[in-house]
A and B are shown apart, each in its own frame.
Chain A
Amino acid sequence: MSHLITAESISKVFQSGAIETKALDNISFNLNNGESLAITGASGSGKSTLLSIIGLLDSPTSGALYLQGQLVSGLSNYQKRILRNREIGWIFQNFNLIGHLDVLENITLPLRYDPRVSWRDYENIGKQALTSVGLADKATALPQQLSGGQQQRVAIARALVNKPSLILADEPTGNLDSKTSTNIIDLLFTVVAQGATLLLVTHEPDLALRCDSEIILNDGLVSDAKPPITV
């Protein structure tokens, strides 16, 4: 069977004026459906860059990326948008919740961009997602009124609401205390257990260990991978 993600010698060079930064250098790996992968490495090693390329927020300078066997560089903006909307769930370190929307509204946003979903179902689907992260009673709260852990759980609910096959989490617990972190991570792995694929950027070795595999970036290069995955 084909891999969910196949990265072939992906490189990313940022050009700002005369300065060239090689954020990613020849990265290759495969990831199967339902697996979890940790991406670790020092600050500035290119973790977020890699994630944003896989999440279709950016494109590689060279190399090829396949999602579900499709070559990403051959996709139109429209197709990329559809993929982002239906197949990818993003979770950020800083949550990226919209301040003037309440919790339920934030969660149902992805549904609003999916024409297959009728607006009459928004509320139900949203509430289910909210219940699954244990925040059923906070539906009408504004993000500012929640704690950091609660906000991240809202973000997770939002990432899951469209039942994506790929979850991208960029240091989801970076802003949280350790007890809350554990909660959040448990939640993420519950979803993986239900069949989703997880890409997790983290600094914490414990966390990386919970994943099926790990790649370690060092100045844009894969310096190590555990257990040895196809690199």
Chain B
Amino acid sequence: MLSHPLLFELATEWRTWKGQWFKYLILLFGFSLLAVLLAMGLRIGELLFIDPPAWVNSDKHKNLYTLSRYHQKVGMHGVSLNTIEGLKGIPGIESIAYIAFRSRSIKHQGTLFDSTEIAYFSESFRNQISLKFPTKEGVAESQLAWVSTRFFEQELKGNPAVIGSTIRITRNPVPLIIAGVLPPELNRLGKNQPDIWVNDKNLRYHTPFVAPPVGSNNPEKEKILNKFLRNAPIYYVIFALEKAIDPAEIQQIVAANFTVDSAMTFSMPGSELRVQQGVVFDPETKQALKNQWLALLALILALSIILTINALTLFGGHIVMHWRSIKTKRILGASQKSFLLSDLWSLALPLIFLTLFSYVLLLLGEKTINFSELYKSFAGNTRFSVSAPIWAASLLLTFVVLYLSKAMQVLNFSEEKLFDRAFGNSKTRSQLLLADLFLVIQLAGGFLIASIAASMALSEWQSQSAVSIDRSVTEVKISYNGDAKIPNSLYSGRFPGLSSIPVGASIPGFQEPLTASIKRAGTKTSVSVNAIYVSENYFDLLAVNKVTWSGSWPNGVIVSRSLASVLAEKEDYSDLEAAPVAVKMLFEKTYPIVGVIDDIPHFGVSQRGDPMVYLPISAAFLNNNMALISKPEHAEALADAANLWAQKNLLNPRISPIESLDEIIRQTDSLRLGFLAATLAVSLLINILIFISISYQIKSRIKMTEHEYGVRMVYGCSASHLILVACRDCFLALLVAVPIATAGLWWLDSRYAQFLDVPLLRVSVLPPVVLITALLILLAATVPIASLLKKSLFGLMRHT
């Protein structure tokens, strides 16, 4: 015998869970998951709302703001120095810093690095983000350059000797000295990944005008240069205020002070000024992360409700099965406190499980987040990790919920009730009502989540199967400097040196169509579309379905079905045949429409409805990349031939690895597919929890009324009838739960489906989900009834 009170409680508690420990473990697993999600939710919230980006040294500045412009399609981009002037009117402004990103070629010790990204930062920028840059005595800052860790490691091979050596930026007459390597946090600022950092004085060499070195006396030139630099909308601004002010208010002040030099406006039509609190270089990612965070919070809420109910029913059922021993203990003098304490001790082992499970889940969760593209583009190089105090706090919180759900059961057994001889044989009305309410909540919750998962899966399946192209087709991309002359043989589907293989070509690649606008000749309204130049055999290689096809391709343009339905007046698009359309990219040109094809998912399956126009590749101009497609079995041969040809004919060519269209589409869809997978997993977990809880509820009800079942059996009640008796309550609860859940689904769908970009309610999934739920309930009742049938009737009858 274990005498020590703690060990005694531990040991005897586990005996009472004999045969039930699996349920208990699942419950603990659910609670661990909850703890981890909570910890991660807290951490992401901290990242979103409290922490500045990793590359900002946090402890110094509090009231930091970012000023930029924002365009619906292009996203965030810079403002001009003129706009920055407008900031000076803000009360309490402390400091203003800015940074601009440009792509340039640089030369280092004889090696040419093509299109490296250069960050040009103002004098005050380093100060503003409180980061120490290594400097060099006696050299003006404008003659120094800093390299990012990534550039240093990947391009400069991590050779420490490069520090102190010189690099040259194209058109910059002054060579710059590499002053040092920047910390890895600065590898990425929002979407920008600068390789080289230089002082903004160097920007003067990177205008459309040729600039003389600083100090050469040419006032005319200087004037033009200054004017350009003042008006070019390329600067991202970070400014600090003494006191916090509402960003909207600042925005207004800046807009009011905003001036332009009339001769030079570069600002994009449709873009607007935007002031944001904190240092925000990538608002879309932040918004996307925020949406996911909100979804996570909803999940945490749902999970905690389901789990609490689950714990209440599990512990409630458990205590119902053991109320006699509680009664005996009370008669022998056990106090309420001793029960509460013994509950606490008995949770010691579960706490160990909870900690272990949640530790493993936390590692998995951190890995998953670090792996996600969204997080990477938000936080750059900083790894996602939850600090020990946050984890411990979440764990403690879930443990408290677990403990309270257990302790509450004992508190239910007041002295008076316990010694009442009627107790235990019947429950009070409020207890029954509560139990039924729990049943309804659980069934409604499970039904809701299962329906959402099923709806999403159904839509995904439908949109995947609606895509009729051959996804095994592979693509190889070639990028190069300057223009390429497209080999004539490609027009007829053959690549130079590969006459036996059908090869298609596009400019640019499958996933990178250009933007254009299109309108039918003679009409005014133009539609913005995506455009791509393709070879004659492109559609045949993709095996895409042709809706209408005149045969005169490639003398004209092909439009996608979704574009056709915008342009056409007739249902069958017959009015589009040979209809002239004006396609405007850099110039406007009119072509006849010579065919309509099914939508091709250039931007992923869910975006396949984006309107597309396909132009003949012979019309392409000013290209610096092209893509070649072929059947997978020819991919290798094509890549080799392309390499050979490119080295001979192109300037500084770079060839991408072979990728199948399936891989490309999947990558674009990965966020949504990941979301779907997560929803399915969560729905599965929650439904397992609910199933376990409901089956336990049914079981404990049967156990409590075993005698009644015995009497029924004595009088010849059939097994199926007994099962129905056992499910009666659950079916009634289901009857109530389904309309509630359906209403909830409808509400969620009308509110959030668009925002999440997935349908949450497809009516066709409801009947099968109801059916499966009902079958599961039957299953949950069948198992305990089956074991009841195995017992001796005599035993059942004697045991009252």
- Chain A contacts to B: CB under 8 angstroms: 16, 52, 55, 57-58, 77-78, 81-82, 84-86, 90, 96-102, 104-105, 108-110, 112-114, 119-120, 122-123, 126, 139-140, 158
B523 → chain A closest CB, angstroms: 84
The answer on a CB contact under 8 Å between A96 and B331 is yes
The answer on a CB contact under 8 Å between B329 and A100 is no
The answer on a CB contact under 8 Å between A101 and B12 is yes
Q: Is B636 an interface residue (CB 8 A)?
A: no
A169 → chain B closest CB, angstroms: 13
Q: Is B325 an interface residue (CB 8 A)?
A: yes
B652 → chain A closest CB, angstroms: 79
A162 → chain B closest CB, angstroms: 8
Closest to B14 in A: A100
A224 → chain B closest CB, angstroms: 27
B339 → chain A closest CB, angstroms: 10
User: Which residues does chain A contribute within 8 Å of B329, judged by CB atoms?
Assistant: 98, 109, 113
**A-B interface pairs (CB < 8 A), number:** 75
The answer on a CB contact under 8 Å between A113 and B338 is yes
CA distance A123 to B2 in the complex (A): 9
A71 → chain B closest CB, angstroms: 19
The answer on a CB contact under 8 Å between A84 and B333 is yes
User: Which residues does chain B contribute within 8 Å of A86, judged by CB atoms?
Assistant: 333
Q: Is B4 an interface residue (CB 8 A)?
A: yes
User: Which residues does chain A contribute within 8 Å of B4, judged by CB atoms?
Assistant: 119
Contact of A123 among B1, B16, B334, B415 (CB under 8 A): B1
Contact of B328 among A98, A123, A139 (CB under 8 A): A98
The answer on a CB contact under 8 Å between B332 and A109 is yes
Q: Is B720 an interface residue (CB 8 A)?
A: no
The answer on a CB contact under 8 Å between B12 and A100 is yes
Q: Is B5 an interface residue (CB 8 A)?
A: yes
Q: Is B335 an interface residue (CB 8 A)?
A: yes
Could you tell me which residues of chain B, from 283 to 329, have a CB within 8 Å of some CB in chain A? 322, 324-325, 327-329
Closest to B15 in A: A100
User: Which residues does chain B contribute within 8 Å of A85, judged by CB atoms?
Assistant: 332-333
User: Which residues does chain B contribute within 8 Å of A82, judged by CB atoms?
Assistant: 333
- Chain B contacts to A: CB under 8 angstroms: 1, 3-5, 8, 12, 15-16, 18, 322, 324-325, 327-329, 331-335, 338, 415, 419, 422
CA distance A119 to B4 in the complex (A): 6
User: Which residues does chain B contribute within 8 Å of A78, judged by CB atoms?
Assistant: 335
The answer on a CB contact under 8 Å between B12 and A90 is no
- A-B contacts besides A81-B333, A109-B328, 11 pairs, CB < 8 Å: A52-B419, A86-B333, A90-B332, A96-B328, A112-B8, A112-B338, A113-B335, A119-B3, A120-B3, A122-B1, A122-B3
User: Which residues does chain A contribute within 8 Å of B3, judged by CB atoms?
Assistant: 108, 119-120, 122-123
The answer on a CB contact under 8 Å between B419 and A57 is yes
Given contact pairs A81-B335, A98-B325, A113-B334, A108 touches B419 in the complex (Cβ within 8 A) = no
Identify 21 residue pairs between A and B in the complex whose beta-carbon atoms are under 8 Å apart, listed by A's number. A58-B419, A77-B415, A84-B332, A84-B333, A90-B332, A96-B324, A96-B327, A96-B328, A98-B325, A98-B329, A99-B325, A100-B18, A102-B1, A108-B1, A109-B328, A113-B332, A113-B334, A119-B3, A123-B1, A123-B3, A158-B332
User: Which residues does chain B contribute within 8 Å of A57, judged by CB atoms?
Assistant: 331, 419
CA distance A121 to B322 in the complex (A): 27
Given contact pairs A105-B12, A122-B3, A126-B1, A100 touches B325 in the complex (Cβ within 8 A) = yes
Closest to B332 in A: A110
User: Which residues does chain B contribute within 8 Å of A102, judged by CB atoms?
Assistant: 1
CA distance A105 to B338 in the complex (A): 16
A114 → chain B closest CB, angstroms: 7
CA distance A82 to B330 in the complex (A): 11
CA distance A74 to B419 in the complex (A): 19
B325 → chain A closest CB, angstroms: 4
User: Which residues does chain A contribute within 8 Å of B333, judged by CB atoms?
Assistant: 81-82, 84-86, 110, 113-114
A4 → chain B closest CB, angstroms: 19
User: Which residues does chain B contribute within 8 Å of A114, judged by CB atoms?
Assistant: 333
A26 → chain B closest CB, angstroms: 22
CA distance A146 to B12 in the complex (A): 19
A99 → chain B closest CB, angstroms: 7
CA distance A16 to B426 in the complex (A): 14
B320 → chain A closest CB, angstroms: 15
User: Which residues does chain B contribute within 8 Å of A16, judged by CB atoms?
Assistant: 422
The answer on a CB contact under 8 Å between A112 and B5 is yes
User: Which residues does chain A contribute within 8 Å of B332, judged by CB atoms?
Assistant: 84-85, 90, 109-110, 113, 158
Contact of A100 among B16, B334, B422 (CB under 8 A): B16
CA distance A158 to B422 in the complex (A): 25
CA distance A52 to B329 in the complex (A): 15
User: Which residues does chain A contribute within 8 Å of B18, judged by CB atoms?
Assistant: 100
Contact of A105 among B1, B16, B327 (CB under 8 A): B1
Q: Which of B5, B329, B332 has most chain A Cβ within 10 Å? A: B332
User: Which residues does chain B contribute within 8 Å of A140, judged by CB atoms?
Assistant: 1
The answer on a CB contact under 8 Å between A104 and B325 is no
B337 → chain A closest CB, angstroms: 10
User: Which residues does chain B contribute within 8 Å of A55, judged by CB atoms?
Assistant: 331
Q: Nearest 4 pairs between A and B by C-beta?
A: A85-B333, A98-B325, A113-B333, A57-B419
User: Which residues does chain B contribute within 8 Å of A112, judged by CB atoms?
Assistant: 5, 8, 334, 338
CA distance A84 to B325 in the complex (A): 16
User: Which residues does chain A contribute within 8 Å of B328, judged by CB atoms?
Assistant: 96-98, 109
CA distance A16 to B425 in the complex (A): 15
Contact of B1 among A58, A100, A139 (CB under 8 A): A139
User: Which residues does chain A contribute within 8 Å of B331, judged by CB atoms?
Assistant: 55, 57, 84, 90, 96
Closest to A82 in B: B333
CA distance A95 to B270 in the complex (A): 86
A73 → chain B closest CB, angstroms: 14
CA distance A108 to B5 in the complex (A): 11
User: Which residues does chain A contribute within 8 Å of B338, judged by CB atoms?
Assistant: 112-113
User: Which residues does chain B contribute within 8 Å of A58, judged by CB atoms?
Assistant: 419
B84 → chain A closest CB, angstroms: 75
CA distance A114 to B5 in the complex (A): 12
CA distance A90 to B331 in the complex (A): 8
User: Which residues does chain A contribute within 8 Å of B334, judged by CB atoms?
Assistant: 81, 109, 112-113
Closest to B13 in A: A100
User: Which residues does chain A contribute within 8 Å of B422, judged by CB atoms?
Assistant: 16
CA distance A105 to B332 in the complex (A): 13
B223 → chain A closest CB, angstroms: 94
User: Which residues does chain A contribute within 8 Å of B12, judged by CB atoms?
Assistant: 100-101, 105
CA distance A226 to B17 in the complex (A): 51
CA distance A99 to B322 in the complex (A): 9
Closest to B9 in A: A112
Closest to A16 in B: B422
CA distance A57 to B416 in the complex (A): 8
Closest to A49 in B: B421
Closest to A108 in B: B1
CA distance A170 to B225 in the complex (A): 108
Closest to A86 in B: B333
B324 → chain A closest CB, angstroms: 7
CA distance A111 to B380 in the complex (A): 63
CA distance A85 to B328 in the complex (A): 11
CA distance A13 to B327 in the complex (A): 23
Closest to A159 in B: B332
Q: Which of A57, A86, A110, A158 has most chain B Cβ within 10 Å? A: A57
A52 → chain B closest CB, angstroms: 7
User: Which residues does chain B contribute within 8 Å of A97, judged by CB atoms?
Assistant: 328
User: Which residues does chain A contribute within 8 Å of B327, judged by CB atoms?
Assistant: 96
CA distance A119 to B1 in the complex (A): 11
